[in-house]
Amino acid sequence: MAKFRRKKGKGAQKINTSSLPDIIFMLLFFFMVSTTMRETEVQVNIRIPEVSEVKKLEQKSLVSYIYIGRPNRGLQAMYGTEPLIQLNDKLVNEEGIPTDAVQDFVLFEREQLPEVDKNKMVMSLRIDEDIPMGKVDDVKQALRRAKALIINYSARKDYENQGR
């Protein structure tokens, strides 16, 4: 009996934290494996549409990104609210012809690829749902002129309508 009483009298016990690092490391490895590095800062607002037939993009090194959306709230004072094109990480903001910038961008990106992969380049179009198609058609025409013909309309998997 005396033994029990003495234990109680000691007050709050310390929790053993020796396995805490292990738990944190486990979380760390989970995030390291399941995420990818953030490469560009997106300066336009984009809500990706959801459709049912999406496929995963295989080789990330072959992919270049074209974003089309309205500027972020912080940038609206500078650029207004008209849809803008962002190529990888730079915003096309000159008044002139944005499609020329798209063409230059494609040529530049193609230069970065090794010789064997030059015609496998994929342009990923990340476009906001509400953007009118006129802007998208302009970009598509520019891509055709630049001979970047493999495109990928970025979309998320829509699980609700899958069985339709």
Partner 1 sequence: MAKRELQEINAGSMADIAFLLLIFFLVATTMDVDTGLTRLLPPIPEEEQKDEVQVNKRNVLVVLINRNDQLMVGGEFGTRVDELKEIVIEFFTNPQNDPTLPEKETKEVEFPPGSSPLLPPSGVWVGNVSKGVISLQNDRSTTYKKYLEVQNELVAAVNQLRQDFCKLYFDKDYDELNMNKPNEKEISEAIRKIYKMNISEATPKNIEGLN
Q: Which of 76, 88, 98 is nearest to 41 (CA)?
A: 88
In angstroms, the Cα distances linking 164 to 50, 76, 91, 161 are 14, 40, 39, 6
Segment contacting partner 1 (CB under 8 A): 4-12, 85-93, 104-112, 151-159? Answer: 151-159
Judged by beta carbon, residue 9 or residue 134, the one nearer partner 1 is 134
Judged by phi (left if over 0) then psi (alpha if -120 to 50, else beta), residue 45 lies in: beta
156-157 and 50-51: which strand pairing?
parallel
Binding of residue 118 to partner 1 (CB under 8 A): no
Binding of residue 97 to partner 1 (CB under 8 A): no
Q: How far is the CB of 155 from partner 1 (least distance, A)?
A: 5
Segment contacting partner 1 (CB under 8 A): 1-9, 85-93, 110-118, 124-132? Answer: 124-132
Q: How far is the CB of 76 from partner 1 (least distance, A)?
A: 20
The pair phi, psi for residue 118, each rounded to 5°, is -60, -35
Binding of residue 89 to partner 1 (CB under 8 A): no
Which 48-87 residues touch partner 1, going by CB under 8 A? 49, 51-57, 60, 63
In angstroms, the Cα distances linking 21 to 15, 24, 26, 134 are 14, 5, 8, 54
Q: Contact positions toward partner 1, by CB under 8 A?
A: 17-18, 20-21, 24-25, 27-28, 31-32, 34-38, 49, 51-57, 60, 63, 122, 124-125, 127-134, 136-137, 140-141, 143-145, 147-157, 164
